[in-house]
Amino acid sequence: MSVFHSIPKSFGYAIAGIKTAIKNEPNFRVHMMAGIAASGLGLFLGLNTTEWAILILTIVVVVVLELINTAIEAIVNLVSPQLQEAARVAKDTSAAAVLLSALGAVAVGVFLFLPKIFWLQSLLGLSTPIPTSVAVTNTVTPLVVAENLDTPWEIAFLEGGDMMITERRGKLTRIGRDKTTYDIKGAKETGEGGLLGLALKDNQVYLYLTTVNNVNQVVRYDFSGDQLTNEKIIVDNIPAGQNHNGGRLKFGPDGALYVTTGETGKSSLAQDKNSLAGKILRVVNERVEIYSYGHRNPQGLAWDTEGNLWATEHGRSGVQSGYDELNIIKQGANYGWPAIEGDKSAPNMESPVINSGPTTTWAPAGMAYLDGNLYFAGLRGETLYQYSIVTHKLTEHLQGVYGRLRAVSVGPDGYLYASTSNNDGRGTPKSGDDKILKIDPKSLQP
């Protein structure tokens, strides 16, 4: 009977202890304020969902244990002498639990916050560097070799030196002695979609296009006697959207066709290996494999002389923007979108070689490699970027001079060719837009 009588008393002691803790215990209030401060720091540094869950759980554990410990301390002074020894043991045990949880909270804090702080990250060699050495030069004077185009998306060269250009509205244009235009059946310009990528090989033309059925495809034509014939779909049912369609086509040194695809604004698709969206694909003998995944909107592809595949990728957009990327692509690797971006890192995910940082937007598009340098176009950045693989220096050319830039290719003459993209609905068209610019790479040396 005495046991049943003691139960209400125990509850009474517990309630009295909790009230005392909330009202009088400064440590409890300190931990609450520390939790709020940590949450604010997490918001500022941009924790992802998993990191937020770990942070909140850690704060809750410490606060609850501190509350229990303080309540027990109050109970020690309230219980009968017969129970005080047991209460003191409970108090010591709970105090030890608070100490261990506090140490754990410190460890969690170091784990979560240290990689977010750029200068400490750099010191530890964990960072994805934001270029600190950026030179700007507008002394280059390109030669305009074609104009009055409509959103030229890609530039490639035939064996005789003539240019082939895709125009997003659905036109394939050949520029040489004469200008010839081919209407590509089934291509439809919708948002950022339309006739996008272009690659040439063995008298065949490969095109990446958005169809009237609202899917993206890779299509191959035979090209002979100025005629496109024998159309064949090589890759079908790539998800399409108003935005983030990827679209670059490049043949690699291994002879395979590489294809970039966007996640169409649905970030979860980038991590979905059952979807072709948000990937870099490799096509061999019409067999399609996912070469890398976790991409948001990869746009440029280029190989250096060591055989490394590089890719440009659009970072977040909207009000925040920033965190555009330059990556080295490894087969089978996960490039983290949407779990990580910018300077963040995570197990089994690749971080970029460099990124634009949280306040600068490149909106990087086409890319070409030449003599130890990667040249990539900036849409919103309105710049031709030059990244030295040797010195890791980023140089900006033509900043704001020609507006939005999209395609970059190396011609058979060793010159760089870049396209403007001021008719794409996001630029301010100038007289003669859109243009193809011929640039002497010797004039671009920083």
Express each pLDDT in 152-188 by its tens digit.
Answer: 999 999 999 999 999 999 999 999 878 899 999 999 9
- What range does the domain containing 204 cover? 134-444
Strands 134-137, 394-397: pairing is parallel
Q: Is the dihedral of CA 29, 32, 34, 37 positive or negative?
A: negative
The reply to whether 126 falls in a domain is: no
Distance, in Å, from the CA atom of 122 to the CA atom of 86, rounded to the nearest integer, reads 51
Q: Mean pLDDT, the chain, as a whole number?
A: 84
The amino acid that residue 254 corresponds to is D
User: What stretches of 294-401 adopt beta strand conformation (E)?
Assistant: 298-303, 309-313, 325-329, 354-355, 364-370, 373-378, 384-388, 394-397
Distance, in Å, from the CA atom of 206 to the CA atom of 194, rounded to the nearest integer, reads 14
Nearest Cα to 217, choosing from 200, 244, 241, 240? 240
Q: What are phi and psi of 348, to 5 degrees?
A: 65, 25
The reply to whether 122 falls in a domain is: no
Q: Does 66 participate in catalysis according to the annotation?
A: yes
Same domain, residue pair 208 and 303 = yes
Strands 298-303, 309-313: pairing is antiparallel
Distance, in Å, from the CA atom of 300 to the CA atom of 41, rounded to the nearest integer, reads 35
What is the number of other CB atoms lying within 10 angstroms of the CB of residue 228?
18
Lowest mean per-residue pLDDT among 154-168, 227-241, 314-328, 366-380: 314-328
Please report, for residues 2, 88, 234, the alpha-carbon distance to residue 290 in angstroms, rounded to integers and kept in the order given. 71, 62, 15
Burial 290-325 (b: 16+ CB within 10 A, else e): bbbbbbbbbbbbbbeeeeebbbbbbbbbeeebbbbb
pLDDT for res 79: 58
The amino acid that residue 210 corresponds to is T
Distance, in Å, from the CA atom of 313 to the CA atom of 176, rounded to the nearest integer, reads 32
Q: What is the CATH number of the domain that holds 77?
A: 1.10.287.3610
The amino acid that residue 162 corresponds to is D
Query: Which residues fall within 8 angstroms of residue 258, CB to CB, at 6 or more apart?
Result: 248, 249, 250, 251, 252, 280, 281, 282, 283, 291, 301, 309
Among 68, 89, 116, the domain-final residue is 116
Q: What is the CATH number of the domain that holds 395?
A: 2.120.10.30
The reply to whether 147 falls in a domain is: yes
Q: Could you tell me if 52 and 40 are in contact, meaning their C-beta atoms sit under 8 angstroms apart?
A: no
Mean pLDDT calculated for residue range 210-235: 95
Same domain, residue pair 266 and 334 = yes
Q: Could you tell me if 224 and 204 are in contact, meaning their C-beta atoms sit under 8 angstroms apart?
A: no
Q: Could you tell me if 293 and 271 are in contact, meaning their C-beta atoms sit under 8 angstroms apart?
A: yes
Same domain, residue pair 39 and 159 = no
Q: What are 88-105's pLDDT values in tens digits? A: 666 667 666 666 666 666
Nearest Cα to 160, choosing from 181, 146, 174, 148? 174
Rg (CA), the chain: 30
**Where does residue 370 rank: exposed (0-12), middle (13-18), buried (19+ CB within 10 A)?**
middle
Alpha-carbon dihedral 275, 270, 280, 312, rounded to 10 degrees: 160
Percent pLDDT > 90 in the chain is 64
Distance, in Å, from the CA atom of 212 to the CA atom of 300, rounded to the nearest integer, reads 25
Same domain, residue pair 85 and 144 = no
Q: What are 226-262's pLDDT values in tens digits? A: 899 999 999 999 999 999 999 999 999 999 999 999 9
pLDDT for res 123: 43
Q: Could you tell me if 274 and 290 are in contact, meaning their C-beta atoms sit under 8 angstroms apart?
A: no
pLDDT for res 253: 97
Q: What are phi and psi of 410, to 5 degrees?
A: -100, 125
The reply to whether 195 falls in a domain is: yes
Q: Could you tell me if 194 and 187 are in contact, meaning their C-beta atoms sit under 8 angstroms apart?
A: yes
Same domain, residue pair 90 and 208 = no
Angle at 98 between CA 92 and CA 99, to 5 degrees: 90
The answer to whether the pTM exceeds 0.75 is: no
Query: Which residues fall within 8 angstroms of residue 145, CB to CB, at 6 or more apart?
Result: 163, 175, 417, 436, 437, 438
Same domain, residue pair 106 and 156 = no
Among 74, 90, 116, the domain-final residue is 116
If one compares 198 and 359, the residue with the highest pLDDT of the two is 198
Distance, in Å, from the CA atom of 177 to the CA atom of 162, rounded to the nearest integer, reads 8
Q: What are phi and psi of 148, to 5 degrees?
A: 60, 40
The reply to whether 127 falls in a domain is: no
Same domain, residue pair 69 and 217 = no
**Helix, strand or coil for residue 27?**
helix
| Helix 2-24 with 26-45: angle, nearest 10 deg | 60
Same domain, residue pair 100 and 153 = no
What are residue 380's DSSP bridge partners?
none
Same domain, residue pair 350 and 299 = yes
Same domain, residue pair 308 and 187 = yes
| pLDDT at residue 116 greater than cutoff 70 | no
Considering the candidates 25, 51, 66, 341, report the single residue annotated as catalytic.
66
The reply to whether 123 falls in a domain is: no
Q: How many domains, the chain?
A: 2
The reply to whether 129 falls in a domain is: no
Cis peptide before 92 (omega within 30 of 0): no
| pLDDT at residue 191 greater than cutoff 90 | yes
pLDDT for res 36: 56
The reply to whether 149 falls in a domain is: yes
pLDDT for res 111: 59
Among 85, 116, 147, the domain-final residue is 116
Same domain, residue pair 214 and 90 = no
Same domain, residue pair 106 and 151 = no
If one compares 366 and 57, the residue with the highest pLDDT of the two is 366
Distance, in Å, from the CA atom of 442 to the CA atom of 230, rounded to the nearest integer, reads 41
